[in-house]
Amino acid sequence: MAKLAFIVTEDWFFASHFLPMARAAVAMGLEVVVIARVRSHAAAIEATGARVRPLEAERRSLNPLAAGATVARLARILREEKPDIAHCISLKPILVGGAACGLAGISRRVFALTGLGFLGAKTDRAGRAARWTLRRIIRGALTSKRTRFVFENEDDPKLLGLDPAAADVTILGGAGIDPAAYPATPLPEGAELRIAIVSRMLWSKGVDVAVEAVARAREAGADVALSLYGAPDPSNPKAIPPKTLRDWSRRPGITWHGPTTSPAAVWQAHHVACLPSRGGEGLPRTLLESAACGRAALTTDVPGCRSFVRDGIDGFVVSVDDVDALAAAIGRLAKDRALAERMGAAGAARVRDGFTEADVSARMQALYRDLLR
């Protein structure tokens, strides 16, 4: 039996996005092990038929000595497991996992870049230099002749100097969602336009832009409210302090609810999804989930977001940090509930045509079979 090792930072991240990939790999007869920092989601991963191997590593740390120690520990695990394929998910596991694969002699590697995070959101000279350096590292010493690259949108491969149509590149279109878990439902009753953000509470997600845009739309006479669902991520340098979130909740029409365990229930109670991201996305799961539920999207012109939401069809795509444009889009939807309905229906149809768990699993199974030939 061939063995597949997923390498990922956190067990919660794998459990929230990649369980379908584990199930698909098990279904095709692979032995699957997930190597991650383990907290409280090992049981959910093991329910797919995969095993879990703990690897302690601080996601926020930039200490090269700590990174070197993590590479050594991971290489030791890989030598013990002897996987036929190592599938590294997101940037840090690609850097650490690629180096560990080299030490352990694992040549079949899948580098799945799920977005560049805050590095992708930086547009200054330092950000461009960091991305250039990453390109040289990932395309250089970390890559074997049997490495395959996986992306969630067609913009990110270009950042690494790769052709999205190349044979060693696979575009997944996100991690996939189960339409049965996110059924399209009618918009809720009521004159007030209820908008929600469901994501980690990070500055890079543009939550502050949404708060200001809703305030301006209300000042212009729109009957609108914004609900924030999510928690700050203490391991992310762009986490919004809880005090700021509580302060926003004191403003008219703004409520921070904390994290939710049922995004589908959130979308049943709201009319519109919002994610005014500043960049660094792969393809945000929240846009897929809300679209599946039949909710129009308000987002920004950044990779991942613009590759799914079609401006004027599934929602509105505005420039990054453009509070006035976002407020105007909110005002349009507040005045035209039929437009919100049409956009939501278009999004629900789009997500079911290529962005489901079945679609993503089939593409990944094809990639694994190709590597194992």
Dump pLDDT digits (tens) for 49-62: 999 999 988 655 55
* pLDDT of 238 higher than 90: no
User: Based on the domain organization, do 209 and 292 belong to the same domain?
Assistant: yes
Q: How many CB atoms lie within 10 A of CB 105?
A: 11
Cα–Cα dist 294/343, whole Å: 8
User: Based on the domain organization, do 158 and 183 belong to the same domain?
Assistant: no
Q: What is the dihedral of CA 174, 240, 70, 128, to 10 degrees?
A: 70
User: Based on the domain organization, do 220 and 170 belong to the same domain?
Assistant: no
- pLDDT value of position 231: 94
Cα–Cα dist 299/321, whole Å: 11
- pLDDT value of position 123: 66
User: Based on the domain organization, do 103 and 190 belong to the same domain?
Assistant: no
More confident residue, 121 or 28: 28
Q: Which residue has the tokens 């940090």?
A: 321
- pLDDT value of position 134: 78
* pLDDT of 192 higher than 90: yes
Q: Per-residue confidence at 159, pLDDT binned at 50, 70, 90? A: confident
User: Based on the domain organization, do 91 and 209 belong to the same domain?
Assistant: no
- pLDDT value of position 57: 80
User: Could you read off the pLDDT of 93-136 as tens digits, one per residue?
Assistant: 999 999 999 999 999 999 999 886 655 556 677 767 877 877 88
Domain that holds residue 298: 179-351
The whole-chain average pLDDT of the chain stands at 93
User: Based on the domain organization, do 169 and 226 belong to the same domain?
Assistant: no
Q: DSSP alpha helices (H): ranges in 146-299?
A: 156-159, 207-219, 242-249, 263-268, 285-292
User: Based on the domain organization, do 262 and 291 belong to the same domain?
Assistant: yes
- pLDDT value of position 65: 67
Q: What is the DSSP letter of 187?
A: P
* pLDDT of 149 higher than 80: yes
CATH number at residue 194: 3.40.50.2000
For 171, residues 6+ apart whose C-beta sits below 8 A from its C-beta are 150, 151, 152, 153, 154, 157, 164
User: Based on the domain organization, do 117 and 265 belong to the same domain?
Assistant: no
Among the listed residues 250, 237, 260, the one whose alpha carbon sits nearest the alpha carbon of residue 211: 250
| Strand runs labelled E in the chain | 3-10, 31-37, 51-54, 85-89, 109-113, 147-151, 169-171, 193-198, 224-229, 254-258, 272-275, 296-300, 315-318
Question: pLDDT > 90: what percent of the chain?
Answer: 83
For 80, residues 6+ apart whose C-beta sits below 8 A from its C-beta are none
Per the CB < 8 A criterion, the answer to whether 260 and 231 are in contact is: no
- Residue 150: beta bridge partners? 112, 170
Among the listed residues 75, 77, 69, the one whose alpha carbon sits nearest the alpha carbon of residue 52: 77
Q: DSSP alpha helices (H): ranges in 155-262?
A: 156-159, 207-219, 242-249
User: Based on the domain organization, do 344 and 367 belong to the same domain?
Assistant: no
User: Based on the domain organization, do 257 and 141 belong to the same domain?
Assistant: no
pTM score, whole prediction: 0.90
32: left (phi over 0), alpha (psi -120 to 50) or beta: beta
User: Could you read off the pLDDT of 268-313 as tens digits, one per residue?
Assistant: 999 999 999 999 899 999 999 999 999 999 999 999 999 999 999 9
Q: Could you tell me whether strands 51-54 and 31-37 are parallel, antiparallel, or unpaired per DSSP bridges?
A: parallel
Cα–Cα dist 311/298, whole Å: 9
User: Based on the domain organization, do 297 and 219 belong to the same domain?
Assistant: yes
Count the domains in the chain. Answer: 2
Cα–Cα dist 214/225, whole Å: 7
User: Based on the domain organization, do 332 and 202 belong to the same domain?
Assistant: yes
Look at the chain and count its residues.
373
